[in-house]
Amino acid sequence: MARVSQGAARSLRPDVRGDQIHWLEAGQSEACDRYLAIMEMLRIALNRGLCLGLEEYESHFAFYAPGASYLRHRDQFRHDDSRTVSVIVYLNADWLPEHGGALRLHPEGLAMRDISPVGSRIAVFLSADMLHEVLPATRDRLSLTGWFRRRA
Ligand SMILES: O=C(O)CCC(=O)C(=O)O
Ligand SMILES: [Fe+2]
């Protein structure tokens, strides 16, 4: 799959997002391949159930140091509407609400909703529609963020 960003990267917009990321590639490790295989099953299930026509998946690790955040945004790019479904898997053992770091969702016409990044929790939403942000935390915050894409 062609992609401009590869490997580890710091954000190009540190004023907007404070995380550090590392893109996943198939064959990197057994654990990564197992994760990608599960996401492939999810892709097929979403296509069967919701007819979304999802064709590809891209994913990166994200590390937010204490205090780091990601301002309110949507995941679909203005010049590229291929990102269709966003999936975030949280990797934080023993996360408590007082640690902060919630994913704050702003669904149109509905009350905002905070999702605590508790280990093994998965957040799934439509990339084009869901306005969201990451609130700062008091401890390291780790996740796997990915997007199912339609072919551009
Ligand atoms: O980690 C999260 O809860 C959301 C991350 C996010 O919005 C993104 O990477 O686009
Ligand atoms: Fe996002």
Which 3 state secondary structure label does DSSP give 9?
A: strand
Identify whether 11 is part of a domain.
no
Identify whether 2 is part of a domain.
no
For residue 50, give its domain range.
Answer: 18-149
Distance between CA 23 and CA 16 in Å, rounded?
19
Identify whether 5 is part of a domain.
no
Q: Are 5 and 61 in contact (CB under 8 A)?
A: no
Identify whether 45 is part of a domain.
yes
The answer to whether the CB of 95 is under 6 A from ligand 1 is: no
Ligand 2 centroid to residue 33 C-alpha, Å: 23
User: Is the confidence metric ipTM above 0.90 for this complex?
Assistant: yes
Q: How many domains does the chain have?
A: 1
The answer to whether the CB of 145 is under 6 A from ligand 1 is: yes
Q: What is the CATH number of the domain that holds 52?
A: 2.60.120.620
How does pLDDT run across 116-140, given as a tens digit for each residue? 999 999 999 999 999 999 999 999 9
How does pLDDT run across 45-101, given as a tens digit for each residue? 999 999 999 999 999 999 999 999 999 999 988 788 899 999 999 999 999 999 999
Identify whether 12 is part of a domain.
no
Identify whether 68 is part of a domain.
yes
Per-residue pLDDT at 1 exceeds 50: no
The answer to whether the CB of 134 is under 6 A from ligand 1 is: yes
Identify whether 108 is part of a domain.
yes
Q: Which of 59, 69, 86 to mutate to test the pocket of ligand 1 (most atoms within 8 A of CB)?
A: 86
Identify whether 119 is part of a domain.
yes
The answer to whether the CB of 143 is under 6 A from ligand 1 is: yes
Burial grade of 74 (CB within 10 A; 0-12, 13-18, 19 or more):
middle
